[in-house]
Structure 1
Amino acid sequence: MDKQEIIQITNAFLVEEFEADGSKITPDANLKATLDLDSLDYIDLVVVIENNFGFKVNPEDFQGIATFQDFYDYVADRIKQKELV
Structure 2
Amino acid sequence: MSRDEIIDITNTFLIEEFEVEYEVIQPDADLKTSLDLDSLDYVDLVVLIESNFGIKLESKDFTDIRTFNDLYDLIGGKLHAIA
Band of TM-score, shorter chain: over 0.9
The residue aligned with 2:78 is 78
The residue aligned with 1:55 is 55
The residue aligned with 2:4 is 4
Deviation by residue 1:24-75 (Cα, 9 ceiling, x = unmatched)? 1010000000000000000000000000000111022111000000000110
Equivalenced residue count is 83
Cα separation, 2, equivalents of 1:5 and 1:23: 18
What amino acid sits opposite 1:57 in the alignment? L
Moved over 6 A (4+): none
Stretches of structure 1 that go unaligned for 5 or more consecutive residues are none
Question: How far does residue 15 in structure 1 lie from its aligned partner after superposition?
Answer: 0.2
Q: TM-score, normalised by structure 2?
A: 0.97
Cα separation, 1, equivalents of 2:13 and 2:43: 14
Q: Secondary structure at the match of 1:64?
A: coil
Q: What percentage of residue pairs aligned between the two structures are identical?
A: 54
Q: TM-score, normalised by structure 1?
A: 0.95
Query: RMSD of aligned C-alpha atoms?
Result: 0.6
Cα separation, 2, equivalents of 1:24 and 1:17: 14
